[in-house]
Structure 1
Amino acid sequence: MSTLQGFTIPKTQTAAVVKSIGAPLEVQTDHPVKQAADLKPGECLVHISHTGVCHTDLHAKQGDWPVKPMNPLIGGHEGVGIIVAIGENTPNSPVKLGDRVGIKWMADSCLNCEFCRRGFEMNCPEVKLSGYTVDGTFSEYVVSYTNHVTPIPKELDSAGAASILCAGVTTYKALKVSNTKVGDWVALPGAGGGLGHLAVQYAKAMGLKVIAIDTGAAKEKLVKSLGADAWVDFKTSKDIVADIKAATGGLGPHAALVTAASQTGYTQAVKYLREGGTLVCVGMPDAEMGANVFWTVFKSIRIQGSYVGTRQDAVEALDIAAAGKVKVTFEQKGLDALKDVYEDLEAGKIAGRVVLEVSKQ
């Protein structure tokens, strides 16, 4: 075993635990910490300083998806912290003790199957998911995996880097597969949300023109400050399809990246996309897409699912943020505020992102 010099790993910690699907969140102060001697080869223990909160964490708590989470469960998958221990007999570890690293939704994969070799690590049959199939980052300490934690660039502070690890990499990867080029229009339903406000920035960094679709003055102000070229309020618009087309000169956007977890965003996209456009599916309502088959075929629409990103996508997304081209808009709270954050997420009250300070380092 290998432990960071001068660091003592405690026996217990503070952690936010969901005991069963739909059960109330419990912040426990006596949750056990896995000790260095108990780490398996390839595992590392990370002392978490900050973690983002994602809508997926709420889905995990409620058990909303067809793939059910493990329980009891510590959620969270946007964690930043310091490696304080590495399991014995871990050969050629790409990270070392004391490194500041990020923990993502994809906690681990085999790296050897067809999917991993082809760049679909997230679809590996052996994939482990942080805060879903293994414990996540809503705790002071978390066990992760040396091959999949991501080094954090020195230019980024820990709180600001946290949400890049899921919201950032997810939207960045979705734009990479959107079949767009510099100067193209991309529509972003849910643009003022946690994923959406980062999608606006990554799209601008990639030379795209952005139609931000959301509702409310706070979200309008946010997306315009981030460079959105056009704004459509889906609640006040009398004809959202016509308004989106009008913003692009009449033809419609070249791509739509739907980050909102609602069926409506998908149904509308096929109507307003221009011929040959791409619908990128990111938000995950457990519902039928509702895309009209006739118009999908007649307009030569391409439908592309995009599920988080690879280790390389994460490095690229962080590098763009480290260069100052993307910045997370977030409100910082303590771990004990997580229950209230979940309630605000359900009510759609959060513009940008919430980051929790888990421990001071």
Structure 2
Amino acid sequence: MIPKTMKAAVVRGPGKPLKIEEVPVKEPKGNEILVKVIASGVCHSDVHAALGEWDVPTLPLVIGHEAIGHVVALGPYVTSVKEGDVVGVPWLNRACGHCGYCASGHEVLCGDQDNSGFSVDGGHAEYVIADANYVGRFPKEGIDFYEMAPILCAGLTVYKGLKTSNLKPDDWVAISGVGGLGHLAIQYAKVMGYNVAAIDIADEKLDFAKENGADITVNAAKTDPWTFLQEKVGGVHAVVITAVENEAFKDSHKGLRRGGTITPLGIPDGSVEMPIGPTIMNEYTLRGSVIGNRQDLQEAIDLAVRGKVKTRVTKAKLEDLSDVLDKLKNGKIIGRMVLEISQPV
């Protein structure tokens, strides 16, 4: 039986502390489904939303956009999923479905979209509402819910970023930042046939990068990584930046081969500087990449389900979320934090 209320992580306004509150469980309408959350991954975007660093359009708000669980109720128009199915509720909660972006597979650019844990309530709760057309699909058996939750954002983000970085098998890609996104980026890159150079400022994380398949590593606190890459491999074909510090973006073009691509995925304050002359003469590309469409999502999930990609997970309770966010903001987490919301059935 579905309860009338649930525990949820609620943000009520900028500067106001995040609280675990008892809130109503909503009924699904139209093409919506109600998902009983088993696990919910914690993303750095949750830090921005919880601390008022982003202009959140909807308050109060339940944050979180990496929730996985069982479908327990259907809206009247739902035909694509059934009660008992295992689904994931990603950042892209819904889009309009009929604009030029949606029609061409670029629904992440739709001007009429809702985002989980940002414009609509997200998954750091016992139950979450989702659009049946936009959830990720998982098998009912044989999966680790906690390892799969981060694929819904972290995994999808790096997978799409790699796909759009103009790479081909046996190319070199530098993954800057070996955190929650970075360790998954290394694994996806290896599955896609690329050579990987991992960059970080902590030896512990560089050891972690090697465990995840990095071919070479460089500590940017001790060695200029871009000079190192030019000397070691003749430069890389792409730099994918998952770090959230401005320093990680500085001079990154200097590590590229001619025709190379920089794909920023981490979102710090500030801007990326690209010198016009070298950019033109060497045909560098600065390539924005935001999440991924539904096809990207399912591809990223399927690789993880097949065991090609494995998330390093540390579990925590919903009640510990504020402490988790603080650790995440200060770079004290290796891999990904995932909240234990309920037990799989």
TM-score normalized by structure 1? 0.92
1:276 has 2:262 as partner:
no
Moved over 6 A (4+): none
CA offset at residue 23 of structure 1? 1.5
The 5 A counterparts of 1:1-361 are 8-28=1-21, 30-35=22-27, 39-65=28-54, 67-88=55-76, 90-91=77-78, 93-153=79-139, 154-190=141-177, 192-237=178-223, 239-248=224-233, 251-361=234-344
Separation in structure 2 between the aligned mates of residue 15 and residue 230 of structure 1, nearest angstrom: 42
State the SS of the aligned residue for 2:334. coil
CA contact (8 A) 2:13 2:52 kept: no
Separation in structure 1 between the aligned mates of residue 231 and residue 87 of structure 2, nearest angstrom: 44
Identify the residue that residue 4 of structure 1 maps to in structure 2. none
CA offset at residue 297 of structure 1? 1.5
CA offset at residue 101 of structure 1? 0.3
CA contact (8 A) 1:171 1:195 kept: yes
CA offset at residue 268 of structure 1? 2.1
CA contact (8 A) 1:263 1:290 kept: no
CA contact (8 A) 1:214 1:234 kept: yes
| Code of the aligned partner of 1:229 | D
Which stretches in structure 2 are left out of the alignment for 5+ residues? none
Separation in structure 2 between the aligned mates of residue 117 and residue 33 of structure 1, nearest angstrom: 33
CA offset at residue 217 of structure 1? 2.8
Separation in structure 2 between the aligned mates of residue 169 and residue 254 of structure 1, nearest angstrom: 21
Separation in structure 1 between the aligned mates of residue 117 and residue 56 of structure 2, nearest angstrom: 12
State the SS of the aligned residue for 2:249. helix
State the SS of the aligned residue for 1:280. strand
Over aligned residue pairs, what C-alpha RMSD do you find? 1.3
CA offset at residue 115 of structure 1? 0.4
Q: How many residues in Structure 1 have an aligned counterpart in Structure 2?
A: 343
Report the more deviating stretch, 196-205 or 228-237. Answer: 228-237
Separation in structure 1 between the aligned mates of residue 89 and residue 97 of structure 2, nearest angstrom: 17
TM-score normalized by structure 2? 0.96
State the SS of the aligned residue for 2:287. strand
